Amino acid sequence: MRSIEKRCDLDHKTQHVINIGFTTLHKQNRLLSPPSLSKNHFKANGREANGGGRFINKDVGEWVRRYLDGESLRDISREEGVSYETVRKHLKKAGVTMRSRNEAISLAWAKRSEKKPFTGCDEEKAYMMMFVVGDCSTWRFPSSIRVSGSTSHYAQIDLFQNLFNKYSCVSKSPKFSKKRKTYDYGLSCTLNPDSFGFLYPKPSTVAMWIQEDESKLYRGLEGYADAEGSIYLYRGGNRAYAAFVLHSGDYSVLEAFYKSLKNLDYDPCLNTKNYSEDFATLGFFAGNALPILRKLEFRHREKVAAKKLVLELHGEKWSKAKPEYRAFRNNVKRNGRQCNEKARRDYILRHGQPHPQDPNQITPNIINDLLDLCGLNRNYSDTR
Q: Does residue 147 share a domain with residue 176?
A: yes
Q: What is the pLDDT of residue 361?
A: 74
Same domain, 51 and 104: yes
Give me the pLDDT at residue 236, please: 95
> Cα–Cα–Cα angle for 320, 324, 326, nearest 5°?
110
* Helix, strand counts (H, E) of the chain: 15, 12
Query: At 122, which CATH number?
Result: 3.10.28
- For residue 169, the model assigns a pLDDT of 87
315: left (phi over 0), alpha (psi -120 to 50) or beta: left
- Residue 262: inside a domain: no
Residues in the chain: 384
Q: Which amino acid is at 241?
A: Y
What DSSP state is assigned to residue 36? -
Same domain for 64 and 97: yes
- Given 75, 95, 113, the domain boundary residue is 113
Q: How is residue 38 annotated by DSSP?
A: -
Quickly count: other Cβ atoms within 10 Å of residue 137's Cβ. 12
Give residue 67's pLDDT.
Answer: 87
| Residue of 342, 345, 346, 323 lying closest to 334 (CA atoms) | 342
| Structural domain range at position 109 | 38-113
Q: DSSP states of 17-78 as a string?
A: HHHHHHHHHHHTT---PPP---HHHHHHTTEEE-TTS-EEES--HHHHHHHHTT--HHHHHH
Report the Cα–Cα distance between both ends of the chain, in Å, rounded.
8
Q: What pLDDT shows up at residue 48?
A: 47
Domains of the chain: total: 2
User: Would strands 55-57 and 137-141 be described as parallel, antiparallel, or unpaired?
Assistant: unpaired
| Whether 101 and 119 share a structural domain | no
pLDDT at 38: 42
pLDDT at residue number 144: 87
The verdict on 119 and 200 lying in the same domain is yes
Last residue of a domain, one of 113, 142, 169: 113
Give domain status of residue 149, yes or no: yes
107 shares a domain with 132:
no
What integer pLDDT is reported at residue 336 of this predicted model?
96
Q: Are residues 140 and 93 in the same domain?
A: no
- Contact in structure between 251 and 278 (CB atoms under 8 Å): yes
Among 248, 237, 244, 247, smallest CA distance to 266 is for: 244
Last residue of one domain, picked from the residues 94, 113, 132: 113
The reply to whether 96 falls in a domain is: yes
Do 71 and 39 touch, CB atoms closer than 8 A? Answer: no
Any domain includes 85:
yes
For 365, residues 6+ apart whose C-beta sits below 8 A from its C-beta are none
pLDDT tens track for 23-77: 554 444 333 334 444 444 444 444 444 444 444 545 688 888 888 888 888 888 8
Residues 109 and 147 in one domain: no
Low-confidence ranges of the chain (pLDDT < 50): 1-10, 22, 25-55, 57, 364, 366, 380-384
pLDDT digits (tens, 9 = 90+) for 285-312: 999 999 999 999 999 999 999 999 999 9
Q: Do 201 and 119 share a structural domain?
A: yes
Which amino acid is located at 296 in the chain? L
